[in-house]
Amino acid sequence: MIDKRIETISDTAGYSDNDELKEECGVFGIYNNDDLDSGRVVYYGLFSLQHRGQESCGIAVTDDTVVKQYKDMGLVPDVFNSDILDNLTGKIAVGHVRYSTAGGSIRQNSQPLVSRYLKGALTISHNGNLVNALQLREKFENEGFIFQTTIDTEVIAYVIARERVKNPSIEEAISRMMDIVEGSYALLVMSPKKLIGCRDPRGIRPLVIGKRGNSYILSSESCALDSVGAEFVRDVEPGEIVVIDETGLHSIKTHCGKKKTALCIFELIYFARPDSYIEGISVYESRKEAGRQLALEHPVDADLVIGVPDSGIDAAIGYSEQSGIPYGKGLVKNRYIGRTFISPTQSAREDGVKIKLNALRSAVEGKRIIMVDDSIVRGTTVARLVKILRNAGAKEVHMRVSSPPFMWPCYYGTDVPTRDKLIACRYSLDEIADVAGVDSLGYLGIDKLESLKLGADFGHCDACFTGNYPTELPPVHEEEEKDNEIEIRKPPKFTIL
């Protein structure tokens, strides 16, 4: 039986927790200089970031001497209630929402991760994935370190703790950590007296600063700032360390500008909420631009443009505006079913598709439909959706995808699997269209990804489409890619239930 008691970690009692490799998550934290309820502010912030992780969530708070934490499996409103939040009081608070892409989907793997070391309690919320975690872990283990988890977040915690013992401040320890770890991270670190945020030098994962009164907030996305009545201040710069304490906000930029920036382009295509701004870009307008580019690249005569809820809708609106073909609602979403793309197992994804979406017969019957979605990964979802639309009487179904084909796995925190599971690696464009049962298929061109930034000047990571990774991959990942070299072959006959 899961023990749901609030866990308390004092300066004389240690605690460790974990998360796991290859995940896309959301982080939110507050340094409370006003008479705010820190735990509830984080609760509402996490609620707004629920789209980034739907398996587990947690909140940790500190009042200088004690860290209190609560976390469990499930959605934010299901995990927390008023009694729990009443006990999560403190000056500083951090939270985390998570979904897994490898390993067990269990409570033990939820965050924030709280550890005790020589200098006291260290609390970490992490979004991203390290590419050298296994090498660092092996090095630590050879030095006698004992790991409680198999996750890279614990590796980060060990590096920070080790460097803190040798350096006069936690921020200097984090700066040293940034010289050692490699990969993607938007990180919140809560010490007894400070809230610290940092972003990897390439800025692969987003992190923003907000302010409410005299209190500072750090969040994965700006939409969460709106939900708690905070104003957007700015993005944390790639490589920047932001330190918030009783004297205010301070910035350390010794790692800024040392690496070419590489924001994950999939944040704009799929992950972020449309009302968020990332690097000054409206996610909503970016997705509409993707739809406009699709209409220019892949025009087709049709009667109605529909979007696959939710992340395909904005691109569908853009396609409609550019093409002049009316936009309408053709698929109805069950709002109580989470994202199938981020479900941890294939069987869960397939079961989710069956009950997640249904066709609006009165809108699609007898019509030529253009269905716009953000991506095709394994191919299961699109085939089922086409079957649903045809069963509802659609005369034609043309598929348009607001991203290029997935051709390579992601090592920076997005659930893009190995190449043998990517449908675009296994089959040609015509074969994918045949498998999906669509009358035509068109992807956004690689050369059109730049247009999604709407003129903003920063680099992006498109490795999942091009194989051009912004970091060197360690030998274990290089060997994985060698093992996953595959040839185009004839598609199997899928049975769509």
> Residues with catalytic annotation?
25
State the greatest distance between any 2 C-alpha atoms of the chain, in Å, as a whole number.
71
DSSP letters spanning 421-438? G-HHHHS-HHHHHHHHT-
Q: How far is CA 349 from CA 19, 135, 342, 463, in A?
A: 21, 32, 8, 24
Q: Tell me the backbone φ, ψ of residue 187, rounded to 5 degrees.
A: -120, 135
Q: Tell me the backbone φ, ψ of residue 316, rounded to 5 degrees.
A: -65, -40
What the block records as the tokens of 45 is 């912030």
Among residues 70, 68, 20, which one has the least CA distance to residue 43? 70
Distance, in Å, from the CA atom of 381 to the CA atom of 156, rounded to the nearest integer, reads 36
What the block records as the tokens of 104 is 């067990």
What the block records as the tokens of 254 is 């010794």
Return the residue matching tokens 């580019």: 293
| Residues 285 and 272 sit within 8 Å (Cβ to Cβ) | no
Q: What is the separation of C-alpha 202 from the centre of its chain, rounded to a whole number of angstroms? A: 16
Angle between helices 152-166 and 133-142 (to 10 degrees): 60
What the block records as the tokens of 450 is 């730049």
